[in-house]
Chains A and B, each alone.
Chain A
Amino acid sequence: QSALTQPASVSGSPGQSITISCTGTSSDVGGYNYVSWYQQHPGKAPKLMIYDVSNRPSGVSNRFSGSKSGNTASLTISGLQAEDEADYYCSSYTSSSGVVFGGGAKLTVL
């Protein structure tokens, strides 16, 4: 299984909105509504931000939202804040009953 494709880096200014894409295939992202997004600060464990494409776990800010079209999923962060600066990873269930992650996108808040 090949890693999902994410941009290496994205950036935005405080208060702006940014979108991170995650592209897979019909065997993973396109075939199931089982895309998740994780936030990882340096030296910390990843934190679940979105599951099943667009659902937020309890306690996650509504500034984080997810969507999917075809083989590409997207994470949008609105009202950017300094603490949003982190690495973001997408993941998807796969047709071989496994899980595949994206390569990660580094978000810089300017």
Chain B
Amino acid sequence: QVQLQESGPGLVKPSETLSLTCTVSGDSMSPYYWSWIRQPPGKGLEWIGNIYYSGSTNYNPSLQSRVTISVDTSKIQFSLKLNSVTAADTAVYYCARGRAYGGNSVRSFDYWGQGTVVTVSS
């Protein structure tokens, strides 16, 4: 059974960098995509970006200038960095496994972490 677990600070100051890590267990990182998705309080889901196990990335155009996703297959982890955060970045952040079903497009997210709350406040 694949499990994902997010970790990182729950409180980040405005203008600083939000950093989260997702640890994967129960399977290898290949040949899957690995994704970050967030959900502001009381709102819907927002895709942040994907990274393929080999390292290629795709980001949400609205966040692209502030986001970096990286992968460490030796540690079976992938990470999110979001810089210059504001209160609008306050959300539950989920990591998830993206499925391409043999293609090269993420078509669904089949396993999710439990989510971690990140609050941006001074």
Contacts and interface: CB of A to CB of B under 8 A. Distances in A.
Q: How large is the interface on B (under 10, 10 to 19, 20 to 34, 35 or more residues)?
A: 20 to 34
Interface string A85-110: 00001010100111111111000000
Nearest to B64: A98
A10 interface: no
Q: How large is the interface on A (under 10, 10 to 19, 20 to 34, 35 or more residues)?
A: 20 to 34
A98 B99 contact: no
Contacts, number: 68
B108 A52 contact: yes
A47 B45 CA distance: 12
A102 B45 CA distance: 8
B105 A97 contact: yes
A44 B107 CA distance: 22
Contacts of A89: 44-45
Nearest to A45: B112
Contact of A51 (B58, B61, B62, B107): B107
Contacts of B44: 3, 89, 101-104
A96 B47 contact: no
Interface of A: 1, 3, 32, 34, 36, 38, 44-48, 51-52, 57, 89, 91, 93, 96-104
Given A1-B61, A45-B113, A97-B58, 11 more contacts: A32-B105, A34-B105, A34-B108, A46-B112, A51-B107, A51-B110, A89-B45, A91-B109, A98-B47, A101-B37, A104-B44
Interface of B: 35, 37, 44-47, 50, 58-62, 94, 98-99, 101, 105-110, 112-115
15 contacts: A32-B105, A34-B107, A45-B112, A46-B45, A51-B108, A57-B110, A89-B44, A91-B108, A91-B109, A93-B106, A99-B106, A100-B47, A101-B44, A101-B46, A103-B44
